[in-house]
Amino acid sequence: MHRVRSLTINGQRVAVDAEPATSLLTVLRDQLGLTGTKYGCGEGQCGACTVLLNGFPRRSCQTAVGVAAGKKITTIEGLARNGKLHPLQQAFLDEGALQCGYCTPGMIMTGVAFLRANPHPSEADIRRFMQGNLCRCGTYPRIVAAFRRAATIKSS
Ligand code: FES
Ligand code: FES
């Protein structure tokens, strides 16, 4: 297969140069300096590396860059609009829903897609959908609170 020479990330076409089988996470972090997307387990288990591909959450450590080529990739760096944080980002800050913050970008990227599909989730919905995103600091109660706050903001 041909090398991947460009990607569409956060609405912009950017030049890269990678073997198609290279992980998207490696290209984002090592070639493009988009280090908001985190390397956690590297095995698809923790969710720290989650980005959106055409609006759907994907684990970038398990996604070949050749698969991502031609799709719209959104990373945590691309969520803010006109200097304003996404409501879920703001809610994480308002609720203090992080300690070390390592899981936070993946939580938020997964959550953005979740709230788009489920604008009024119950706590059980939130816990069920987010169970694949792990927080080693155990901030789950505050993370749930942030989701509830963001849902309120978006519906008000
Ligand atoms: S780093 Fe990708 S799922 Fe853990
Ligand atoms: S805030 Fe530290 S891993 Fe979640």
Among 59, 78, 97, residue at a domain's last position: 78
Among 28, 52, 78, residue at a domain's last position: 78
Domain that holds residue 141: 87-155
Among 33, 54, 78, residue at a domain's last position: 78
Query: How far is residue 80's CA from residue 95's CA, in Å, rounded to a whole number?
Result: 18
Looking at residue 119, its pLDDT comes to: 93
Query: How far is residue 82's CA from residue 127's CA, in Å, rounded to a whole number?
Result: 31
In this structure, the answer to whether residues 65 and 113 fall within a common structural domain is no
**Atom from ligand 1 closest to the CA of residue 47:** 3
Looking at residue 1, its pLDDT comes to: 72
Residue 153 structure tokens: 């903001």
Pocket of ligand 2 (CB under 6 A): 98-103, 135-137, 139
Q: How far is the CA of 156 from the centre of ligand 1 (A)?
A: 34
In this structure, the answer to whether residues 56 and 91 fall within a common structural domain is no
Looking at residue 79, its pLDDT comes to: 97
What single-letter DSSP state applies at residue 119?
S
* Residue 46 one-letter amino acid: C
In this structure, the answer to whether residues 48 and 12 fall within a common structural domain is yes
Query: How far is residue 10's CA from residue 12's CA, in Å, rounded to a whole number?
Result: 6
| CATH code: domain of residue 16 | 3.10.20.30
**Atom from ligand 1 closest to the CA of residue 39:** 1
In this structure, the answer to whether residues 97 and 55 fall within a common structural domain is no
Residue nearest to atom 3 of ligand 1 (CA): 44
In this structure, the answer to whether residues 69 and 91 fall within a common structural domain is no
In this structure, the answer to whether residues 10 and 74 fall within a common structural domain is yes
**Atom from ligand 1 closest to the CA of residue 25:** 2
In this structure, the answer to whether residues 54 and 93 fall within a common structural domain is no
Query: How far is residue 107's CA from residue 135's CA, in Å, rounded to a whole number?
Result: 9
Structurally, how many domains does the chain consist of? 2
Q: How far is the CA of 86 from the centre of ligand 1 (A)?
A: 23
| CATH code: domain of residue 103 | 1.10.150.120
In this structure, the answer to whether residues 71 and 91 fall within a common structural domain is no
In this structure, the answer to whether residues 120 and 96 fall within a common structural domain is yes
In this structure, the answer to whether residues 71 and 96 fall within a common structural domain is no
Q: What is the pLDDT along the chain (156 residues), one digit of tens a residue?
A: 799 999 999 999 999 999 999 999 999 999 999 999 999 999 999 999 999 999 999 999 999 999 999 999 999 999 999 999 999 999 999 999 999 999 999 999 999 999 999 999 999 999 999 999 999 999 999 999 999 999 986 544
